[in-house]
A = this chain, B = another copy of it.
Amino acid sequence: MMYQAFLLTIPLLMAFQTSSTSPLDSVKKIGPTSTPKVGKVDEIRNRAQFIGRSCKEVRDVYGQSENGLYSLTTATGVVYQTFCDMTTAGGGWTLVASVHEDNIYGEVHSWTSQQGNNTNWSKGEGNWANRKTFGTVEVATDDDFKNPGYYAIIAEDMSVWHVPNNTPVSHWKLAAIMRYHTERRFLHLYGGNLYYLFHRYPVEYNVGKHLSDNGPSIPIVYDLGDKESTKMFYGPNTRGETEGGFISFRATNHERATTAICSGVKPKGGNVEHYCIGGGGFFPQGNPLQCGDFTSFAWNGYGTNVGWSASKQMLESAVLLFYR
Which A residues lie at the B interface, using CB under 8 A? 1-2, 4-5, 7-8, 11-12, 14-16, 18-19, 21-24, 26-27, 29-30, 35-38, 44, 46-47, 49-53, 57, 60-62, 68-69, 74-79, 81, 105-106, 108, 114-115, 120-121, 130-133, 136-139, 142-143, 148, 154, 166, 168-170, 188, 191-192, 196, 199-200
The interface residues of chain B lying within 8 Å CB-to-CB of A121 are: 106
Give, as a whole number of angstroms, the nearest-CB distance from A235 to chain B: 24
Q: B69 touching A78 by the CB < 8 A rule?
A: yes
Q: A38 touching B75 by the CB < 8 A rule?
A: yes
Q: B23 touching A191 by the CB < 8 A rule?
A: yes
The answer to whether A50 and B19 touch (CB under 8 A), given A76-B170, A77-B81, A142-B130, is: no
CA A130 – CA B27 in complex, angstroms?
A: 13
Q: A53 touching B142 by the CB < 8 A rule?
A: no
CA A103 – CA B7 in complex, angstroms?
A: 46
Q: A138 touching B74 by the CB < 8 A rule?
A: yes
Q: What are the 5 A-B residue pairs with the smallest beta carbon separation, nearest first?
A: A69-B77, A131-B139, A23-B192, A36-B75, A11-B61
The interface residues of chain B lying within 8 Å CB-to-CB of A81 are: 77-79
Q: B75 touching A27 by the CB < 8 A rule?
A: no
The answer to whether A137 and B169 touch (CB under 8 A), given A18-B57, A61-B14, A61-B15, is: no
Give, as a whole number of angstroms, the nearest-CB distance from A57 to chain B: 5
The interface residues of chain B lying within 8 Å CB-to-CB of A130 are: 142-143
Q: A168 touching B76 by the CB < 8 A rule?
A: yes
Give, as a whole number of angstroms, the nearest-CB distance from A231 to chain B: 32
| Selected contact of A62 from candidates B11, B36, B44, B75, CB within 8 Å | B11
Q: A76 touching B36 by the CB < 8 A rule?
A: yes
The answer to whether A2 and B4 touch (CB under 8 A), given A27-B199, A30-B199, is: no
CA A8 – CA B291 in complex, angstroms?
A: 47
The interface residues of chain B lying within 8 Å CB-to-CB of A22 are: 154, 192
Q: B53 touching A18 by the CB < 8 A rule?
A: yes
Q: B57 touching A15 by the CB < 8 A rule?
A: yes
CB<8 Å pairs between A and B, sample of 29: A1-B1, A1-B2, A4-B49, A7-B46, A8-B49, A11-B52, A14-B61, A15-B61, A18-B53, A22-B192, A23-B154, A23-B191, A24-B191, A26-B191, A36-B75, A36-B76, A68-B77, A69-B76, A69-B77, A76-B168, A78-B81, A78-B138, A105-B120, A108-B114, A131-B166, A132-B142, A133-B139, A136-B148, A138-B148
Interface centre among A19, A166, A199 (most CB of B within 10 A): A19
Q: Which residue of B lies closest to A196 (CB)?
A: B27
Q: Which residue of B lies closest to A188 (CB)?
A: B23
Give, as a whole number of angstroms, the nearest-CB distance from A155 to chain B: 10
CA A27 – CA B14 in complex, angstroms?
A: 46
Q: Which residue of B lies closest to A135 (CB)?
A: B132
Give, as a whole number of angstroms, the nearest-CB distance from A215 to chain B: 15
Give, as a whole number of angstroms, the nearest-CB distance from A128 to chain B: 13
CA A106 – CA B281 in complex, angstroms?
A: 13
Q: A8-B49, A15-B51, A21-B154 are in contact. List 9 more A-B contacts (CB 8 A).
A: A19-B75, A23-B196, A24-B191, A27-B199, A68-B77, A76-B138, A76-B169, A78-B138, A132-B143
